[in-house]
Amino acid sequence: MEIPSEEITLVDKEQAILSQISPFFQVSETKYGGKGCFSYESIPRGTDILVSKPLGFTISKDFKKEVCHKCFNYDNGKTMKFRLSLPTFKNQSICFCSEKCLSAFKSMKYYEVYLRSLLNLDKLYTTFCTEEMAEVPVAGVSEFIHTIKGKWEQVEQWDASVLKTKPTKWQKLIPKITETEYLEIKYVLGVLHNQTDAFVFESRLFDLLQSNEISKVLKFKNLLVSYITIFKFIRLTSPPQFQKFINPLDIRLIIGNNLTNAFGIWTLNEGDKDFLGFGVYPSGSFFNHSCTPNIIKRRINNELHFLTLADIQKNDELCIDYGNYLEEPVNIRRKELSEWFFICTCKRCEMEAQT
């Protein structure tokens, strides 16, 4: 059977983008399904094979005054000394560890648009916050898939209606949001801003990531209402410069790409670590998991560095570990990884499962 020429073109374009990620490896199909990273040539141990920056991120509300919004520096709970705000937001600001980081933030294209959107979110959250998570009636898989489709069709109709009204009337339509939704919205705002900033390559890679929105919603049905709430809040409260990037399909993609591609932002101290937030690093999201990884990720400021843990041979698959479960038995490792819709079939798991 011949492949249509337009499909070949799409495949070629995708591969051309993926080939630019790193000079050390290529992204290609694995023998067990999906994509993975494979070395072009042998690579010595300790080689930094990729440096990745976040396309979007969010800092947990409890740490927003203690984490630098630019480099993610955290100084044992101390409040950051440098703050940035706008005249119309007296009680809201974002924090930085230094004048250098504050200046770097201000050097971004359209930084004021992004800043205003973050400050506005914090201001609105004080009025529109709620602890209640919407309940969704229990239904079978096929029935609920139909429900998902129908609900988002209703959202598209709602969106078309809203866009016909004056933005001055949108305030009364703003839905209440939970803290979890607040954090998701902050992440989405970062991605929207970087559509207008110098993140063209990471944005292209972001479009190639696998979205697990449907799988997640099928497992946790109340997320359907939550994601619809997030979309409506973003539509009704985002600045005019973001509006052209906002539609149900793209916001669902941004949320869905976060579900299994986000990296946690953790404190860098030894021992017990605090979870500060999460970020999506598209170029670093093509590594598969192994319970005997040959790649380790290290955060330096807001960048993730991926380094080889051993000497790598030509065509070896390069794998990281997805969590802190490497010392656990295989059944626990697989259970924890299944929460991320990942079934580990690495050699270690296969061997331990047989014993």
Q: Please give the full DSSP string across 72-100, using - where no structure is assigned.
A: --B-TTPPPSEEE--TT-SS--EEESSHH
Mean model confidence pLDDT for the chain: 90
Cα 247 to Cα 235: distance, rounded to the nearest angstrom: 8
pTM: 0.90
| pLDDT for the residue 271 | 66
Q: Does the pLDDT at position 304 exceed 80?
A: yes
CATH number of 22-45+281-354: 2.170.270.10
| pLDDT for the residue 319 | 94
Q: Does the pLDDT at position 163 exceed 50?
A: yes
Both tokens of 261, joined, read 């591609």
When mean pLDDT is compared across 13-17, 57-61, 152-156, the lowest value belongs to 13-17
Q: Is 51 left (phi over 0), alpha (psi -120 to 50) or beta?
A: beta
355: enclosing H helix or E strand: none
Between the CA atoms of 143, 146, 147 and 153, what dihedral angle is there, to the nearest 10 degrees? -170
Q: What are phi and psi of 96, to 5 degrees?
A: -135, 155
Average pLDDT on 215-227 reads 90
- Got the DSSP string for 21-75? S-SSEEEEE-TTSSEEEEESS-B-TT-EEEEE--SEEEE-GGGTTTB-TTT--B-
Q: Does the pLDDT at position 3 exceed 60?
A: no
118: enclosing H helix or E strand: helix 111-128
| pLDDT for the residue 1 | 37
Cα 54 to Cα 220: distance, rounded to the nearest angstrom: 27
Banded model confidence at residue 138, pLDDT cuts 50, 70, 90: low
Q: Does the pLDDT at position 50 exceed 90?
A: yes
275-280 sheet: strands from edge to edge: 56-59, 275-280, 262-266
| pLDDT for the residue 249 | 96
Domain ranges of the chain: 22-45+281-354, 56-262
What is the per-residue pLDDT across 255-273, written as a single tens digit (0 to 9) for each?
999 988 999 999 987 667 8
Banded model confidence at residue 286, pLDDT cuts 50, 70, 90: very high
Cα 307 to Cα 45: distance, rounded to the nearest angstrom: 8
| 117 contacts 186 by C-beta, under 8 angstroms | no
| 56 contacts 187 by C-beta, under 8 angstroms | yes
| pLDDT for the residue 196 | 64
Cα 129 to Cα 247: distance, rounded to the nearest angstrom: 23
| pLDDT for the residue 198 | 61
Q: Give me the percent of the chain exceeding a pLDDT of 70.
A: 92
Reference 63, options 48, 80, 47; nearest CA is: 80
Is the dihedral angle over the CA atoms 313, 316, 322, 325 positive or is it negative? Answer: negative
Tokens 């203690």 sit on residue:
66
**Amino acid identity, residue 286?**
F
CB-side exposure of 273: number of CA atoms within 13 Å? 13
Q: What's CA 191's distance to the chain center, in Å?
A: 9
Most confident of 27-36, 137-146, 266-275: 27-36
| pLDDT for the residue 199 | 78
| 213 contacts 231 by C-beta, under 8 angstroms | no
When mean pLDDT is compared across 134-143, 158-167, 223-232, the lowest value belongs to 134-143
| 303 contacts 49 by C-beta, under 8 angstroms | no
Q: Does the pLDDT at position 340 exceed 70?
A: no
